[in-house]
Amino acid sequence: MSDALDGNARARARRLKLMAFDVDGVLSDGSLFYSDAGIEIKAFNTLDGLGLKMLQQAGITVAIITGRHARCVELRAQDLGIQHLYQAVDNKLETMRLLLAELGLGTDDAGYMGDDVLDLPVMTACAFSATPGDGHALVQRYAALTTGRHGGHGAVREVCEFILDAQGKLAAALAPYLTMASR
């Protein structure tokens, strides 16, 4: 990323109060596994999970807006304390608008991380957008930030730390772990 693009992404991330994420290809690697009983299974990365918790602890609301519905996503959101979970969403932009209205926020306060062309309407409406390094090429073209990591493999954590750093909150988020490590 060029310095100019990085500066623009940082300026956009600096004012975020809400960051929403897609699931398939972002919080997971996009693979869909089905058990013989027809239960959908996804793998989630623990690095991403801690990043989402750090965002929340820093006062940034976290949401999940995804087109598919899977019980495992509900369980993961519960585990991470994410209260704003929207599954089986056909129009992610409309869902984002409803969430912003509920929270009393505007699109200048919001960001979205997606990986495919279905995510472009909501990504381009938000002040900040991000995509994993393996996101669709067109999505990468429109995203304010493209991560070095792939979806389901730490890309979300990279975005979380980028936002925290842009807001001057990363050192405080990491400090408790560094204090423990120095003992």
State pLDDT tens for residues 2-53. 344 566 999 999 999 999 999 999 999 999 999 999 999 999 999 999 999 9
Q: Which domains does the chain have, with CATH numbers?
A: 2-178 (3.40.50.1000)
Q: How far apart are CA 130 and CA 178, in angstroms?
A: 28
Q: Under a CB-based contact definition with an 8 Å cutoff, are residues 63 and 82 in contact?
A: yes
Predicted pLDDT at 182:
62
90 is in an annotated binding site: no
Burial (CB count <10 Å: 0-12, 13-18, 19+), residue 118: middle
pLDDT > 70 in the chain, percent: 94
Predicted pLDDT at 155:
98
Q: Under a CB-based contact definition with an 8 Å cutoff, are residues 25 and 116 in contact?
A: yes
Q: How far apart are CA 52 and CA 113, in angstroms?
A: 12
Q: How far apart are CA 28 and CA 172, in angstroms?
A: 27
48 is in an annotated binding site: no
- C-alpha distances (whole Å) from 79 to each of 2, 50, 73, 151 are 36, 11, 10, 19
165 is in an annotated binding site: no
Give the predicted TM-score (pTM) of the model.
0.93
Q: Under a CB-based contact definition with an 8 Å cutoff, are residues 115 and 151 in contact?
A: yes
Q: How far apart are CA 57 and CA 92, in angstroms?
A: 25
Q: How far apart are CA 40 and CA 59, in angstroms?
A: 32
